[in-house]
Amino acid sequence: MSGWLLADGHGGPVIPNFGQGSACERSGGWFCTDWVRANWSSTLQPALVQHVELTVIAVAVGFAIASLLAVVGYRWRPFDVPLGVFTDFLYTIPSLALFILLVPFTGLTVTTVEIALISYTLFILYRNMVAGLRGVPDEALEVARGMGLTRVQTFFRVELPLASPAMFAGLRIATVSTVSIATVAAFVIPKGLGEPILTGLQQSFGTEILAGSLLAILLALTADGLLALFQRGVTPWTRVR
């Protein structure tokens, strides 16, 4: 083996000192704050930013598509059952399997992950939106008809606002779930907070697992909180209890 080296004329490569790591890191401890500080900007922060991106895109696009589907399913009953069954079915496919099955189509890219995540948000959002629209009391519709509003006007001025609490509830659930499922994306592409969790798992390094996990949980709860505030601001009448 050393024949390769001697031919070069050099005695061997220079091996820099990489350090031995702190005692905490070497034992794979759970609370190595020095590791967190050293690796925040190179590993943890990029993972967090990627995770936010993954989630925002998935929820935004899922919301847009689900809104359209919900209107269709609400207005034309025959569509509701197949749409409901389809979104139900998507939800039962394990996230990892869905990622794998999409890879031949869209490659090892963010697109693959997004398509899968959007499918899951569709399930939650569609159901909630249709239920919200259906939950509009008949009296309100009667009043609208009495006022002489057209079908379209009734939808935008009466049904939509009254359905919004349910829709927002769905949006919050979908967002939190997406943050959670997006961690599985790390099996496909090395992006998002699932990456430090998986790497930590491979190296039995508790700190990295904990860092990734806590960031994911905090992100989910923060998103939920922000949406709750947004919901309160926009639908104050639901505050009355």
Nearer to another protein, 109 or 141 (CB): 109
Map residues 39-78 to x or -, x wherever contact with another protein holds by CB under 8 A.
x--xx------------xx--xx-xx--x-----------
Q: Which of 52, 71, 72, 103 binds another protein (CB under 8 A)?
A: 103
Among candidate residues 154, 156, 162, the one with its CA nearest the CA of residue 137: 162
- Rounded to a whole number of angstroms, the distance between the first and last alpha carbons of the chain is 78
Residue 135 binds another protein (CB under 8 A): no
Residue 203 binds another protein (CB under 8 A): yes
Whether 166 and 132 have beta carbons less than 8 Å apart is answered as yes
Nearest distance, CB of residue 35 and another protein, angstroms: 6
Nearer to another protein, 72 or 206 (CB): 206
Nearest distance, CB of residue 77 and another protein, angstroms: 19
Nearest distance, CB of residue 78 and another protein, angstroms: 21
Instruction: For residue 51, give both structure tokens.
Output: 């995770």
Instruction: For residue 63, give both structure tokens.
Output: 């919301």
Whether 50 and 179 have beta carbons less than 8 Å apart is answered as no
Q: In the range 136-155, which residues lie near another protein by CB under 8 A?
A: none
Residue 109 binds another protein (CB under 8 A): yes
| Phi, psi angle pair for 151, to nearest 5° | -55, -45
Instruction: For residue 212, give both structure tokens.
Output: 């990734």
What are the helix (H) ranges across 93-109?
95-106
- The span of 70-78, 131-139, 146-154, 213-221 binding another protein (CB under 8 A) equals 213-221
Instruction: For residue 62, give both structure tokens.
Output: 């899922």
